[in-house]
Amino acid sequence: QVQLVESGGGLVQAGDSLRLSCAASGRTFSSYSVAWFRQTPGKEREFVAAIVPSGASTNYADSVKGRFTISRDNAKNTMYLQMTNLKPEDTAVYYCAGNVRLPSETMVTWESYIYRGRGTQVTVSS
């Protein structure tokens, strides 16, 4: 059993930066593919970024490419999402998710992840 807890959300202005963290319990975090998703009311949850267990490969949604950076520290059982040049359309609840060594083509799909956090709110004002 793995528990994921997000932190770092808040209210910022457009153009600001914010770093989200996702802390994982358990001793097998280094074996997990992990990702960030986000959701706004009335919309489907969307993929933001994913990272493979070693951290050697990442994947981003086009809407955040060049602005967001996903990373992980397996020694600390923690994943991060560094967000820069934030825009009002980035406003959402951000969720982290994990599962054991997912095939790359499935890492963009919420249903592929069996471990999911409760989310942290990010609000970007214009």
Please give the pLDDT value at position 27: 74
Strand duo 78-83 + 120-125: pairing = unpaired
For residue range 68-104, list pLDDT tens digits in order.
Answer: 999 999 999 999 999 999 999 999 999 999 999 899 8
Distance, in Å, from the CA atom of 37 to the CA atom of 50, rounded to the nearest integer, reads 9
Query: Which residues sit opposite 46 in a β-bridge?
Result: 38
For residue range 46-61, list pLDDT tens digits in order.
Answer: 999 999 999 999 999 9
